[in-house]
Amino acid sequence: MTGRTPMIVARDLRKRYKLGKENFVDALRGASLEIGEGEMVAIMGPSGSGKSTVMHVIGCLDKPDSGEVWMGGRRVDALRGEALNQFRGREVGFIFQGFNLVTTLNALENVALAAEYAGVSRGEAARRAAARLEMVGLGDRMRHLPSELSGGQQQRVAIARALVNDPGVVLGDEPTGDLDTVTSDEVVRMMREINESTGTTFVLVTHNPEVGDACDRVIRVRDGVVVDEGRGAA
Ligand SMILES: Nc1ncnc2c1ncn2[C@@H]1O[C@H](COP(=O)(O)OP(=O)(O)O)[C@@H](O)[C@H]1O
Ligand SMILES: [Mg+2]
């Protein structure tokens, strides 16, 4: 064990996707994991092994059929309504492969919007957004539209957006999947620096072994279960 306070605990998660009347896929078949506060962890495994599903369930974007998700000592898998919205808006930040920025909004507006959704006033949202964009090295690109930014810069805007409400946890689904090797390294190094300077817990689903190398630990998923939590023999 890491000796750190568990930030995320997932216990025996099961999730079946039904495909029509008779067919189904068991995406999660009893997946369990534990991630310490302030850790940066990669989730790796073959395509279709359940990595995205487990990340979505941890972030409450999706509900498991059974099992439990605890975050910061609170059970979150059963949250609904306003409590669920608040959790997703403030306590976790998400980063996706395709950046998912609003194409008609500039970098500052994209980041500020996530704060406004969380109930922050317009002025305060803009102030926080500017600070987060400085943090990811885009202080001189705040008024640029996504189309005026490189892939790596767009993903840094998405990282700033994920951090704007100071979540305890940032979840990334293949966050470097659309980036070339050099840019991928830069983006991962930036996440690592933020992880170390702010203590934010990072969980990154990835195919890229170099992303795994940059993390504290690699959790390996296969056929809907965690086969290795990457804690070594200790
Ligand atoms: N919305 C869905 N409907 C039906 N099947 C799905 C859905 N999402 C994922 N699956 C299936 O569940 C399994 C796990 O998917 P996923 O978690 O996306 O895997 P990974 O991210 O490791 O590639 C796969 O067999 C996939 O086809
Ligand atoms: Mg996936």
Residue 52, ligand 1, Cβ within 6 A:
yes
Q: How do beta strands 74-75 and 66-71 pair?
A: antiparallel
Give the chain's domain count.
Answer: 1
CA distance 113 to 167: 15
Query: Residue 53: CB within 6 Å of ligand 1?
Result: yes
25 lines ligand 1 (CB under 6 A): yes
| pLDDT interval class at 3 (50, 70, 90) | low
pTM score, whole prediction: 0.95
pLDDT digits (tens, 9 = 90+) for 47-59: 999 999 999 999 9
Report how far ligand 1's centroid is from the alpha carbon of 194 (Å): 30
- Show the domain range for 214: 6-100+166-228
Nearest Cα residue to atom 11 of ligand 1: 27
Classify the C-alpha dihedral 225-229-233-234 as positive or negative: negative
Q: Which residue's entry shows tokens 């409450």?
A: 60
Q: How far apart are CA 99 and CA 58, in angstroms?
A: 20
Instruction: Determine the distance separating the centroid of ligand 2 and the alpha carbon of 28, expressed in angstroms.
Output: 13
Q: What is the pLDDT of residue 21?
A: 87
Chain CA centroid to CA 195, Å: 12
* Inside any domain, residue 86: yes
d(CA 154, CA 187): 10
- Residues with Cβ within 8 Å of residue 62, at least 6 apart in sequence: 15, 53, 56
pLDDT of 114-154, one tens digit each?
999 999 999 999 999 999 999 999 999 999 999 999 999 99
Count CA atoms closer than 13 A to 175's CA, side-chain side. 33
Please compute the mean of the pLDDT values over residues 172-190 and round it to a whole number. Answer: 95
For residue 204, pLDDT over 80 is answered with yes
| Residues recorded for the chain | 234
Do the domain assignments include residue 121?
no
The residue whose CA has the least distance to atom 4 of ligand 1 is 17
In terms of Cα–Cα distance, which of 175, 207, 169, 133 is closest to 40?
169
118 in Cβ contact with 74 (< 8 Å): no
Q: Kindly indicate the confidence band of residue 91, based on its pLDDT and cuts at 50, 70 and 90.
A: very high
- The answer to the question of residue 136 being in a domain is no
**Two structure tokens written together for 109:** 């507006």
Q: Identify which ligand lies nearest to the alpha carbon of 54.
A: 1
Evaluate if residue 164 carries a pLDDT over 60: yes
185 part of a folded domain: yes
- Mean pLDDT, range 70-81, rounded to an integer: 95
CATH code: domain of residue 215: 3.40.50.300
> Is position 141 within any domain?
no
Residue 111 resides in a domain? no
Kindly give the distance from the C-alpha atom of residue 135 to the centroid of ligand 1, in angstroms, as a whole number: 34
